[in-house]
Structure 1
Amino acid sequence: MDAEKTAFPYHAPAGGLPSQSDLHTGRAVFTEAYAFIPKGVMRDIVTSYLPFWEKTRAWVLSRPMTGFSETFSQYLMEVQPGGGSDRPELDEGAEGVLFVVGGEITVTLDGEAHAMTPGCYAFLPPSAKWTLRSTGTEPARFHWIRKAYEFVDGLDVPEAFFCEEGTRTVHAMPDTEGRWATTRFVEPDDLRHDMHVNIVSLDPGAVISFEETHVMEHGLFVLQGKAVYRLNRDWVEVEAGDFMWLRAFCPQACYAGGPGKFRYLLYKDVNRHAKLRLGR
């Protein structure tokens, strides 16, 4: 269906530290096939600072690791008003996606300013010349997904673009009556793109009814709602603010628990041959 501009809730971390009286027991898990990072882990003490970023900290949710997930990194950025960077990306070969979940930012690309608020999405190709500033009165929070772009002779590098979730087409999965759907920001058959960052939504009671087992690596950040997610051999309760990091071929399925929609931001690598020589 073609949606008119719609406002959605998006979970954003608040940081801080738990009380000394809180129980230690948590939900975090790291296995050979997946990592589960619950929202309670995203505290002040685990943030990182980045070169040439001002008034900024980041939760590093994933990074390439030999023998695990190797294609991407995902940051959850927090930029105080007036902060940002004039040199945000130091890797000329890196492409990126920004997705805003709180506050306001302005991204200036090739001299043109783009205001971004919650639900706004940007694709930034390798070698793009961009800057970013937090322009609101509250801290800006956004996902920054980075991948080394895989160039292919005969395929153009995709151009940058900016858009909003609420104005994109929602594609229902076949035979689900719209209960399981995907908001796409890139068309699947556009082979210039070697990664997709989409939003998946399930209505209460909807299911991913088979154990997907595939070559794509995943980062899944829960934007809204709750569910029970199948990760390899385990059923794991997940809710808004949690992050799931899956290596290739990790079996996965889902049951949306309600009472409202369950939605997550999904990364996957696509549209390239498998590398036959490790390290090249």
Structure 2
Amino acid sequence: MTEAGAFVTEQSYYRPTGGLPPQTQLLTDRAMFREAYAVVPRGTNSDIVTSSLPFWTGTRLWVLARPLSGFAETFSQYMMDVAPHGGSDRPDDDPAAESVLFVTAGTLTLRIGDRAYELGAGGYAYLPPGGNWTAWNHDGAEHAHFHWIRKRYQYVDGIEPPEAFVTSDAEVEPVPMPDTGGTWSTTRFADPADLRHDMHVNIVTFEPGGCIPFAETHVMEHGLYVLEGKAVYRLNEDWVEVQEGDFLWLRAFCPQACYAGGPGRFRYLLYKDVNRHMPLGPVR
């Protein structure tokens, strides 16, 4: 997928291995569900908490987030594990659902209409509502792992939904945040000024020592999957240690900040809802 002149850098993406912990393991863990946030550490993603989906073969998944009344209500996030020759010709029966796919390991063959794409690790795809797409792992040896983020698209009269597109982490140059000396940057796959998009799924990168220097408190809901590294995250009134493979789920207005102490980079895949009026009743 990478073309001449594209931005390329070496990346690392954590993926789950499944299995079960030994009977000798202590029950104490970092998993927690609070009023304003939830932490799903990577150790909780064992075989006994996987799910299955209709019309997917050779596939299991971990559900990291789903709409919950009174908590985060706009999105779901799956961590998909597709065995060799597994996949689906009928991946999603909800015609209102838009999706983002982000591949963390293996190769996923994504067909959108009559065009096929081979997405390796770092591959990214946006799929609009009502789209015609399929996803298969044609590799005979390696499992394909990817994140699947779904949201019910919020239509606006006079604005058409965005078209599907495919890119990758290696093809999009991170944009440094102002006045940070490059220690904090964001890889934006969709144009922030494009109001057709009602969600953004970006990658945020902190170099060692980088931080969010204030407690962000805003209307966006967040799903945050740590792709690489470790950090200390401020969630509401708590400081929580997080590492690659952990998932954080934040409801609107949950104060949030972080400090990346190193020794390596800290990177995460970030969902947020954007560009729409605040609903004053049920979203239609």
Q: Which amino acid aligns with 2:199?
A: M
The answer for the alignment partner of 2:61 in structure 1 is 58
SS at structure 1 position matched to 2:213: strand
**Equivalent residues in 2 for 1:216-227, closer than 5 Å:** 216-227=220-231
State the Cα distance separating 1:191 from its structure 2 match.
Answer: 0.1
Q: Which amino acid aligns with 1:218?
A: H
1:76, 1:141 within 8 Å by CA — same for their partners in 2?
yes
Whole-angstrom CA distance in 2 between matches of 1:275 and 1:208: 29
Q: Are 1:161 and 2:165 counterparts?
A: yes
State the Cα distance separating 1:279 from its structure 2 match.
Answer: 6.0
State the Cα distance separating 1:62 from its structure 2 match.
Answer: 0.2
2:7, 2:173 within 8 Å by CA — same for their partners in 1?
no
Q: Are 1:214 and 2:194 counterparts?
A: no
The answer for the alignment partner of 1:133 in structure 2 is 136
Whole-angstrom CA distance in 1 between matches of 2:281 and 2:54: 32
SS at structure 2 position matched to 1:61: strand
The answer for the alignment partner of 2:245 in structure 1 is 241
State the Cα distance separating 1:169 from its structure 2 match.
Answer: 2.0
State the Cα distance separating 1:57 from its structure 2 match.
Answer: 0.5
Runs of 4+ residues deviating >4 angstroms: none
252, 257, 261: which one pairs with 1:257? 261
The answer for the alignment partner of 1:43 in structure 2 is 46
2:221, 2:272 within 8 Å by CA — same for their partners in 1?
yes
1:202, 1:261 within 8 Å by CA — same for their partners in 2?
yes
More off after superposition, 73-82 vs 270-279:
270-279
**Equivalent residues in 2 for 1:134-149, closer than 5 Å:** 134-136=137-139, 137-149=141-153
TM-score normalized by the length of structure 2: 0.97
The answer for the alignment partner of 1:68 in structure 2 is 71
SS at structure 1 position matched to 2:203: strand
6, 9, 28: which one pairs with 1:6? 9
SS at structure 1 position matched to 2:259: strand
Q: Are 1:89 and 2:99 counterparts?
A: no
Q: Are 1:31 and 2:34 counterparts?
A: yes
State the Cα distance separating 1:4 from its structure 2 match.
Answer: 2.5
Q: Which amino acid aligns with 2:48?
A: I
1:56, 1:78 within 8 Å by CA — same for their partners in 2?
yes
Q: CA RMSD in A?
A: 1.0
Whole-angstrom CA distance in 1 between matches of 2:157 and 2:10: 40
Whole-angstrom CA distance in 2 between matches of 1:109 and 1:188: 24
The answer for the alignment partner of 2:270 in structure 1 is 266
Q: Which amino acid aligns with 1:134?
A: N
TM-score normalized by the length of structure 1: 0.98
Whole-angstrom CA distance in 2 between matches of 1:117 and 1:95: 21
Whole-angstrom CA distance in 2 between matches of 1:3 and 1:170: 12
191, 194, 206: which one pairs with 2:195? 191
Higher strand content, 1 or 2: 1
1:226, 1:239 within 8 Å by CA — same for their partners in 2?
yes
The answer for the alignment partner of 1:18 in structure 2 is 21
The answer for the alignment partner of 1:77 in structure 2 is 80
SS at structure 2 position matched to 1:145: strand
Q: Tell me how many residue pairs correspond in the alignment.
A: 279
The answer for the alignment partner of 1:200 in structure 2 is 204
Identity %: 61
Structure 1 3/179 Cα, relative in aligned 2: closer, same or farther at 3 Å? farther
Structure 1 219/128 Cα, relative in aligned 2: closer, same or farther at 3 Å? same
State the Cα distance separating 1:23 from its structure 2 match.
Answer: 1.2
Whole-angstrom CA distance in 2 between matches of 1:241 and 1:180: 20
